[in-house]
Amino acid sequence: MHSRLNGVAACAAASLSWAAQAATDAPAAAAASLVQEQIIVTADPLRRVDAHLAQPVSVLRGEALQRQPMRNIGEAVSSQLGVTSADFGPSVGRPTIRGLGGARVRVLDDGVGTMDVASLSPDHAVALEPLLARQIEIFRGPATLLYGSGASGGLVNVVDDRILSALPARWGGAVVGQYDTVNDGRTGAFRLDGAVGETLALHLDGLRVDTGNYDIPNFAERMPDPGEPAGELGNSDAGIGNYSGGASFVHERGFLGFAVSRLDRDYGVPGGHAHGHEGEAAAAEPLPDDGVRIDQAQTRVDVKGALIDPLPGLREIRTRWGINDHTHIELEPGGAVGTMLINQETEGRVELVHTPWLGIDGVVGVQIQDRDFDARGAEAFVPKSTQDSVALFVVEKRDFGRLHVDAGFRYEHTDAEDLAAARELSHGVYSVSGGASYRHALGFEFGGSVTRAERAPAIEELFANGPHLATNTFEIGNLNLDTETSTNIDLFVRRGDGRWRWTASVFHNDIANFIFALEQDRDGDGVADRVEADFADTGLVIDEEDALLLVAQTQADARFWGFELESMFMLMDGPWGQLDWRVWLDSVEARFDRHGDVPRIPPLRIGSGLEWYRDRWSAGLAVVRYAPQNDVSRLETRTDGYVDLSLHAEYALPLPDDRELQFFARGTNLSDDEQRRHTSYLKDSVPLQGLGAQFGVRLSF
């Protein structure tokens, strides 16, 4: 029943997988090393470590993952370079990578898409809970070679290990409980892994979260109405239940396993978000606490397997499949069903990893996706549709001493059909990428990548024709949309070892035929048209500011450019423990060639933090300054800057038989500053949470 929890509940639950596998003294051991840990990136078909990829990749795991706020997947990765969240209240947040989001950023569940309806509207939550993740991988920039045109802006892969690939040495797992003061939130989670006999590995996990309305520093509205209450955001409560079980047959030459999971989520949509029935427009006043709610349910079956040395010339065959039944119900005030969205989808891939040939390692793969979408009710602005795709990809790499070179190619064919109007469109898209990096003897590494990535239009961009009340628009699709073509250049220099580790990168992304919703002026009065929800039948333009803005999908060339800097310096390493200092900075700018600034681009950020480790104690303090955003599109409002201050502390108590009991505490928004994220559609009516604290305990066994 809900969505995400706040603060460390996330931290706590996110650590379940990690805690079950890591040594109890892992934080201290990791802290003592001056060599950067080499982490395998599972979303890379060659399974390279993060430091050997020419494309910028960030990996969150272990202690770093536990400390992230995890109300949603966007929030979980928002502290990473170049990444923020496009939130729609506390329960919804999609990652925005270098200014791109929505259908351009794919979110994966262990290598396969989440197969939900999150990309259709900003108020739809991603059907995935990061709380039980062992590792989260973030690709900044096009990842279309690996996962298709939906990853033209980047991807986020959540690794949950629900399908085990090896036999656990013993039965073990973790149990977590937490309380959150800012929303009276309560979280409980568990994970259990073990083996039966010499071939069968079993897994169970579960999560339950219940939260109330969360506290805010001032008023919800940027310009509050007389008598508006302060201090609490109405209709921001939520509940979630997520449970799964899996089994794997494990052999010395590979494995084959499956997992079945069930997700039920119920959450309020705050901010006066007004879905409505025929003839209704967005509400001028905020809805009461019994306002619009969303009820999501998903049943999912996943299959994963690998075979080592199957044939001469092949090192490994891997396969991954997901089969999904997803229902998204939007409930009007009073409980009536306003809109129902049903998404039934299958996605899978097969990868053939070949043995080295002339010193070249690589993989050839095929990916298949089959989607049936149906929408019923007041906000069914996308008709009943299907979308199928088949893709072939090749990724190869070779090392020449200290020089690493990689290249890849992908072809993807997509068929989309509007079943209601019997309209069918096909697109064939190509992507090609090349990268190189050189590691100097002094420990410096520099390099870059060039990617040409094409994206086929999404079904909502092609077939939409109706009121989209989440954004207060009447949206019209465009059957004549061409494919988007991104030409991305990324350059970096970094030092990954030693007392001072740092990285610096710049990027430029030139996107031809960028698809976006453009406001219309069909009556020629020089003002953007406003219409009622029945505009498709009446064709009438009205002069009312609270009516729906008429927009149509169109295309124009756009340019995105920016930079990312990060420095990690060990200030102290001795009897009093280890003290690390992190400083980071990122910025992105984006403009259309003819239409001014691209909307909802995140502002410049600068952050700094201290992390201290000593024996079984750890603690940290972080501060992030978000600059004002004044580069806005025609109908956007500007966003003030703000400061986010947080801290954490943990103590791990050893128990017999390598068990551990950890106590933890977190403080968020300690300055109680009013925070409004520019990437959010609701930034003027839904601020982020105020001052809060989380307290919890985690048992690893």
Q: In the predicted model, is pLDDT for residue 35 greater than 90?
A: no
Residue among 116, 130, 127, 109 at smallest CA distance from 43: 109
Please tell me the least confidently modeled range out of 4-13, 199-208, 249-258, 377-386.
4-13
Residues 625, 645: contact at Cβ < 8 Å? Answer: no
Distance CA 603, CA 635 (A): 17
Residues 269, 129: contact at Cβ < 8 Å? Answer: no
Count helices and strands in the chain by DSSP H and E runs = 7, 32
pLDDT of residue 12: 36
Distance CA 545, CA 543 (A): 7
Residues 447, 55: contact at Cβ < 8 Å? Answer: no
Report the CATH architecture of 7-700.
Beta Barrel (2.40)
pLDDT of residue 63: 81
Which pLDDT tens digit goes with each residue over 503-527? 999 999 999 999 999 989 888 888 8
Q: In the predicted model, is pLDDT for residue 495 greater than 60?
A: yes
pLDDT of residue 404: 93
Distance CA 545, CA 520 (A): 15
Distance CA 92, CA 84 (A): 13
Distance CA 504, CA 495 (A): 9
Which pLDDT tens digit goes with each residue over 336-391? 888 899 999 999 999 999 999 999 999 999 999 999 999 998 778 899 999 999 99
pLDDT of residue 51: 64
Residue 541, phi then psi, degrees to nearest 5: -100, 130
Q: In the predicted model, is pLDDT for residue 15 greater than 50?
A: no
Q: For residue 572, what are the contacts with CB-CB under 8 A and spacing of at least 6?
A: 578, 579
pLDDT of residue 274: 45
pLDDT of residue 272: 62
Residues 58, 81: contact at Cβ < 8 Å? Answer: yes
Distance CA 44, CA 664 (A): 33
Residue with the bigger pLDDT between 145 and 678: it is 678
- Count the Cβ atoms, other than its own, within 10 Å of residue 311: 10
CA angle 463, 468, 472 (to 5 degrees): 145
Residues 151, 112: contact at Cβ < 8 Å? Answer: no
CA-based radius of gyration for the chain = 24
Mean pLDDT of 247-257: 97
DSSP 498-525: SSEEEEEEEEEEEEEEEEEEEE--TT-S
Structure tokens at 645: 């201050």
Which pLDDT tens digit goes with each residue over 450-490? 999 999 999 999 999 998 877 888 999 999 999 999 999 99
Give, as one character, the DSSP assignment of residue 223: S
pLDDT of residue 457: 94
Mean pLDDT of 121-125: 90
- Count the Cβ atoms, other than its own, within 10 Å of residue 209: 30
Please tell me the least confidently modeled range out of 79-83, 279-283, 366-370.
279-283
Structure tokens at 546: 């609270």
Q: In the predicted model, is pLDDT for residue 700 greater than 90?
A: yes
Distance CA 325, CA 116 (A): 9
pLDDT of residue 338: 86
Torsion (CA) 56, 369, 388, 421 in degrees, nearest 10: -100
What is the pLDDT of the chain when averaged over all its residues?
A: 89
Beta strands at 105-109 and 154-159: parallel, antiparallel or unpaired: parallel
3-state secondary structure (DSSP) of residue 585: strand
Which pLDDT tens digit goes with each residue over 634-684? 888 999 999 999 999 999 999 998 899 999 999 999 999 999 999 998 999
Place of tokens 């035929």: 513
Residues 692, 180: contact at Cβ < 8 Å? Answer: yes
Residue among 558, 145, 580, 123 at smallest CA distance from 379: 123
* Confidence tier at 70 by pLDDT (50, 70, 90): confident
Which pLDDT tens digit goes with each residue over 181-193? 999 999 999 999 9
Q: In the predicted model, is pLDDT for residue 17 greater than 80?
A: no
Strand partners, 370: 346, 388
DSSP 4-31: ---HHHHHHHHHHHHHHHS-TTHHHHHH
Amino acid sitting at position 475: E
Residues 513, 482: contact at Cβ < 8 Å? Answer: yes
Amino acid sitting at position 532: E
Distance CA 436, CA 398 (A): 10
pLDDT of residue 4: 33
Q: In the predicted model, is pLDDT for residue 21 greater than 60?
A: no
Distance CA 221, CA 37 (A): 45
Strand partners, 663: 651, 697
pLDDT of residue 150: 85
pLDDT of residue 227: 83
Which pLDDT tens digit goes with each residue over 292-314? 899 999 999 999 999 999 999 99
Residues 566, 587: contact at Cβ < 8 Å? Answer: no
